Chains A and B, each alone.
Chain A
Amino acid sequence: MKNKILEKRKLAYGVHEFWIENPIVSKNAKAGQFVIFRLYENGERIPLTISAVNKDSFRVIVKAIGKSTYELCRLNKGDFILDVVGPLGMPSEVKYYGNALVIGGGVGIAAITPIVKELIKEKNNVDVILGGRSKEYIILENEFKNANNLYIVTDDGSLGEKAYPHQFMEKMIQEKNYDIIWAIGPSKMMKACSEVAKKHDIKIWVSLNSIMVDGTGMCGGCRVRIGNKLKYTCVDGPEFDGRLVDWESFEKRLNQYRKEEKIALSKYLQEVGEPTWL
């Protein structure tokens, strides 16, 4: 298992696409599942959603936000990833629902690509909303050509409508009946979309990016409260009904290591200088 980087492409500032050779992952991966990378001895374990597969390789799209993802984005075609574990997590519950609305925000767009593809295969009518801070962050737009409708919204209006995804979603729900919704992106977006879905009483799947260690159900660090039950994101999820997620504690847990993350990144930047590769 060599985990060679076959292709690498910059999609936006700090957002990079990687194709990694690993037949075990590519052969078994289903929509909604993820992998965990470790770049070197003493490196952290980094969970990443599997965004596509092709023969012996699979794709991840990485947003650089801290030391480990900065380092990952610095790797190039021909380099190797020390450890790749996967696929992990439960696959998305893809089946025939009827009308489906799928919302992707930021790098969350990478996560919805396989779900949209599968939903279409199951003969659903799929409408897609892509959201981003600005034009630059709307990625992979041409991978949604087979959707019934594709809408784009940006926070600053530089592409598509100027709106937040949940605002646009509200508008669409008023115009059309949806049987199922997926929303994957920053937690603020997933939370807002879940509130809208709850109001309209429609089931909504969100994919939680809890802080993980093993990803195998062994540590309990990724626990979230789902409708009063403790669940482990890595083995019970990562997708849950957004209407039942305890968003407040989920978001607080994401900030657990803020202080340590800052230390790690500034130490790294002192060592390597300007991250010109981002």
Chain B
Amino acid sequence: MAVKQRLKTIERNPNERNKDFNEVNLGYTQELAIEEAKRCLQCPNPTCVQGCPVGIDIPGFIKKIAEKDFEGSYKVLKKYNSLPAICGRVCPQEIQCEGSCVLNKVGQPISIGALERFIADWAINNNIEEDIIPEKRINKKIAIIGAGPAGLTTASELSKAGFSVDMYEVFHDVGGVLIYGIPEFRLPKSIVKKEAQLLKKLGVNIFTNIPVGLAIHPKELLEKYDAIFIGVGAGTPKFMDIEGTELNGVYSANEFLTRINLMKAYKFPQSDTPVKIGEKIVVIGGGNTAMDAARSALRLGANVTIVYRRSENEMPARKEEIKHAKEEGVKFQTLTQPVRYIGDENGNLIGIECIKMELGEPDESGRRKPIPIPNSNFIIEASVAIEAIGTNPNKLLLSQFDGLELNKWGYIKADEFGRTSIEKVFAGGDIVTGSATVILAMGAGKKAASVIKQALY
């Protein structure tokens, strides 16, 4: 059977886009979207749906696109996913919905993410909003801690159900990683702002600048609210902790990206927060965070190399992001592990001593274990190094929460529905799973909202 090739979205030219922070992928035009939607087989038992953590009726919303009923399509989407403009852009579709599409067997899967984004953007541009009046008002109060995707979803679900919802966020803006981590060129901040406005319209009270734990004690929340949802994210960066980690110019990806995204360091001195750039930047790691840091650094004019201890095959980053990074000019140095940072007399980074690696037997993660090759040390010149090697749970709140059980990695112990060891207290997103994805955090928020509804209705 001849299956048509999937239609490509419009991407900006790599040599143009690597100089600014505007969005790289421009998505589908109306015509392209309809064409692509028509490729969908409308399977009676759609495998794609099983691949989506929130179980969107994928054939349903795609069918409406093929029929040019964009508003109808949007309604289908919104029933399952309150943040489609975001998920359409940042979900790892190749291992989720698209990875499970039957067309993989005979050709290329449907571009589900791009279609989802198309509809969400269309709705934004045409000011389509859902009916947001809750059926009834319920005289119960809910506190949401943390305004990342998990918290935002829970807040929106519960507010729509008629609860009175107070959301607390320590930053001056809501969005969590969506605003301080994922760069503008992958996810424009205006989209996150839009979602925040929608929440306000729903009647959610948003309190920013509140470090829960220190500014409000958990005890106080337990007294004041009928249920509490914790969605504070994974949040604290790990360092390899090799010699020289204190040197100036050594950053965690979180710090580097926060300075650029949240604090707008790319506009310095028009904005007040600086960030070090220099000529040569090395990014350490192979995940999405490493790609985001590398591509951000590139846009600030640096010569950027990614150093990773395994080979490209083992990189956890999305293939598409690796491709984008390469197109834009990021260099890759794989099978290489930093062992020491080298500084000058002022404490500024000037180089990184690395050792070459080879791959041995598979380890617990199933990936082949990198083993250092003796006496293969060499030095890479660099004035900035960015470590993107993962995160630990943020203790700001957890250290104050007596009686809240944690697992052996220090994340909150919660069941599938977000129930924790304390009655009335629910949790979801990265603070339960460790660093995961936007859609999983949203899914967790949705599930918690459903049990909170059941318990309090």
Residues of A within 8 A of B (CB): 1, 24-25, 28, 33, 38, 42-45, 67-68, 82-89, 213-214, 216-221, 223-225, 230, 232, 235, 246, 248-250, 252-253, 255-257, 260-261, 263-264, 267
Contact = CB atoms under 8 A, between A and B. Distances in A.
B246 A220 contact: no
13 contacts: A43-B272, A67-B272, A68-B272, A85-B170, A85-B210, A217-B235, A217-B236, A230-B245, A252-B246, A252-B248, A263-B269, A264-B268, A264-B272
Contact of B273 (A84, A213, A253): A213
A41 B252 CA distance: 24
Interface stretch (B13-21, B82-90, B256-264, B301-309): B256-264
A76 B214 CA distance: 28
Nearest to A219: B255
Interface residues of B, number: 44
Nearest to A43: B272
B279 to A, nearest CB: 15
A214 B262 CA distance: 10
B395 A217 contact: yes
B118 interface: no
A260 B277 CA distance: 11
B216 A28 contact: yes
Contacts of A38: 172
Contact of B346 (A86, A246, A255): A255
B396 A220 contact: no
B1 interface: no
A235 B273 contact: no
Nearest to B220: A28
Given A24-B210, A235-B395, A253-B248, A213 B259 contact: yes
A201 B91 CA distance: 56
B396 A216 contact: yes
A267 B236 contact: no
Contacts of B246: 223-225, 246, 249-250, 252-253
Contacts, number: 127
Nearest to A91: B214
Nearest to B234: A218
Per CB-CB distance, the 10 closest pairs between chain A and chain B, nearest first, are A252-B347, A260-B274, A219-B255, A249-B246, A44-B272, A42-B271, A220-B252, A256-B248, A85-B209, A221-B255
Nearest to B170: A216
Nearest to B393: A217
Nearest to A265: B269
Contacts of A253: 246, 248, 347
Contact of A1 (B209, B245, B255, B267): B209
A220 B214 contact: no
Given A38-B172, A217-B236, A252-B346, A24 B255 contact: no
Contacts of B245: 223, 230
A276 to B, nearest CB: 22
A217 B269 CA distance: 26
A255 B344 CA distance: 13
A44 B247 CA distance: 22
Contacts of B247: 249, 252
Interface string B405-429: 0000000000000000000000000
Contacts of A224: 246
Contacts of B267: 42
Nearest to A46: B272
A152 to B, nearest CB: 34
Contacts of A267: 269
Contacts of A256: 248, 276
Interface string B205-248: 00111110011110000000000000000011101010001111
Contacts of B258: 213-214, 218-219
Q: With a 10 A CB-CB cut-off, give which of B214, B235, B274 has the most chain A CB atoms.
A: B214
A197 to B, nearest CB: 22
Contacts of B272: 42-44, 67-68, 264
A177 to B, nearest CB: 34
A23 to B, nearest CB: 10
Contacts of B395: 217, 235
B396 A217 contact: yes
Contact of B251 (A45, A221, A257, A260): A221
Interface in B357-398: 394-396
B153 interface: no
A213 B263 CA distance: 9
A33 B208 CA distance: 19
Contacts of A86: 211, 214-215
A213 B247 CA distance: 17
B267 to A, nearest CB: 7
A67 B271 CA distance: 11
A264 B270 CA distance: 9
A214 B171 contact: yes
Given A43-B272, A256-B248, A24 B216 contact: yes
Contacts of A260: 268-269, 274
B255 to A, nearest CB: 4
Contacts of B263: 44-45, 213
Given A83-B209, A252-B346, A219 B237 contact: yes
Contacts of A44: 263, 272-273
